[in-house]
Chain A
Amino acid sequence: MRELSGLYALWLREFIVFTRERSRIASALFTPLLWLFIFGTALKTKVTVTGAGAGMDYRLFIFPGILCMVVLFTSLFFGVYIVWDRKIDFLKEVMVAPLRRTTIFMGKVLGGMTDSIIESVVILGMGIFLGVSYTLSSLATAYVFIILLAVGMVSLGLIIGSRMESPEGFGMVVSFVAFPMFFLSGALYQVEDLPPWLTFLVYLDPVTYAVDGIRGALLGIGRFPLALDFALLLLYAAAMVVAGSYSFRRMKV
């Protein structure tokens, strides 16, 4: 019972802070606009979507990828707040509380996940202007993938953050992880067209399965079966949660 109210407290704190720092949400939503409407518009005449989605507007094609990008970046960079908590010493207050380290970790994960969910609502809204037609089930399926991706990536960000002393250092390390994950995910291109060595790397990237799953759910042009996307992403998220709980147990205040 205490663990539950503790979890609620930790989540509540993240939520209140998120609503007070509105610049966070504005900066998170600016980049996808650039991708969709500048990058997308510039390339749409040069890039032809083939296969199941043949003839599809390129901007529509990359829309699930851009959605995943927002979730990926917001979630991974959320790990910086554990570095800040340590810097402002709030971490001491939390770590001395009679809560399981897993609870403390999950509170943070839920907080980061909430940020990602709120931002993805706005991105999905932009989709209407691109001609995405939503159904209740396609939205629900998309959200399953968004949540799994967010949980996995917030966890990874927190694992990195739990070992870092400075926000600047955290930013450097996470950039090294975030950009390859984004570019390898097939967010901007079709995986079918790639040379084998690159295909291999793409298949190693968990974001690939989120992009593919959401593309399947919203546009009906997934490369893998939805169940496979779901299973692999679930596996990744679960592994990250376990690793994250462990890293919080060993974390220094």
Chain B
Amino acid sequence: MRETIRIEDLRKVYEGGIKAVDGVSLEIGRGEVFGLLGPNGAGKTTLLHMLATLIRPTSGSAWVNGYHIVREAHKVRQSIGIVFQDPSSDDLLTGYENMKLHALMYGVPRDVLEDRISRLLRLVEMEERAHDLVRHYSGGMRRRLELARGLLHSPRVLFLDEPTLGLDPGSREHVWGYIQDLVKERDLSIIITTHYMEEAERLCDRVAIIDMGRIVALDTPAKLKERVGGEVLKLKIRNPRLDRLKKGYIKKVETKGDYLYLTVEDAGKHLQEILAEVGEVESVELRTPTLNDVFLHYTGREIREGPPEGGYGTRIIRARAGR
């Protein structure tokens, strides 16, 4: 199977010597949903813009759909769709007009144009507001419109730069839903940049963790989490019976102060058994490793730096607290 995207030692050094992307090599398969996870300023957007032919790389090569991103920029542009981090529709035009202009610029045949526009507007549930000026849309509506616009010319690769940044939780769920539907219905590779763990976990087949312009880890979300250890049970027990914990699924036993930390494989399944055997349990807490832990593991820093946002902290807590 030919890969959709192939990146070889790609670099971008800005004036002043800032290495935004510092030697990235990567292959992304057909139909794959691939995440680039990293804090703000890690180089995700620069990498994406290089692949989308908007920024010229300083060195290295990359091919998108088999086309070289510098030598065959024109063909790359025809075969990709992109939703930018910042809204890029014209707010003095209506949603429909923005769609129409996009279709004309990409040479969508006239006979399918209207049909495709209304089908996509329906997909993102924007058909009722299609003839309102974009100026009067909410952030979430605008993102949905631009998602639909990015699909208008039937690209084989879709780039989504922080697709839910700044959206309220409701809109975020919406956008995630559309992306998941797309994956099911189309033969489409999607590359998502994000600094939301939850987003990467929920949408991506594979995730590359990016820090300071380099890939520091790359795997499926599940495997990445496995690498920093399985789920951890934090127990407070009056009379611990450690001898009973010698089981295959318990990977590690640690005592810190009053608490007992057990690293457990598939903790949900074995929880009953553990609680029944370990002794008189006063409190129990199940902690699932997050990609934040993974990030911490590989970079020694938290990923949480970035724009403060309502609801973000609580989601982290919810993710930590487990299912």
Contacts and interface: CB of A to CB of B under 8 A. Distances in A.
A253 B74 CA distance: 16
A interface, over-half SS: helix
B77 A98 contact: yes
Nearest to A18: B92
Chain B interface bracket (under 10, 10 to 19, 20 to 34, 35 or more): 20 to 34
Contacts of B93: 13, 16-17
Interface in A1-36: 1-2, 5-6, 8-10, 12-13, 16-17, 20-21
A97 B107 CA distance: 10
Contacts of A93: 84, 88-89, 102
A155 B101 CA distance: 22
A1 B106 CA distance: 10
A215 to B, nearest CB: 37
Contacts of B102: 93, 97
B97 A16 contact: yes
Interface stretch (A84-92, A130-138, A224-232): A84-92
A88 B91 contact: yes
Nearest to B97: A16
Interface of A: 1-2, 5-6, 8-10, 12-13, 16-17, 20-21, 88-99, 253
Given A5-B104, A10-B101, A12-B104, 15 more contacts: A1-B107, A6-B104, A12-B101, A13-B93, A13-B101, A16-B92, A16-B97, A89-B86, A90-B89, A96-B52, A96-B77, A97-B77, A98-B105, A99-B105, A253-B54
24 contacts: A1-B107, A2-B106, A5-B104, A5-B107, A6-B104, A6-B105, A9-B105, A10-B105, A12-B104, A17-B90, A88-B87, A89-B87, A89-B88, A92-B54, A93-B88, A93-B102, A95-B54, A96-B80, A97-B105, A98-B77, A98-B106, A98-B107, A99-B105, A253-B54
Which 9 pairs between the two chains have the least Cβ-Cβ distance? Answer: A2-B107, A9-B104, A98-B77, A98-B78, A89-B88, A97-B105, A93-B88, A9-B101, A6-B105
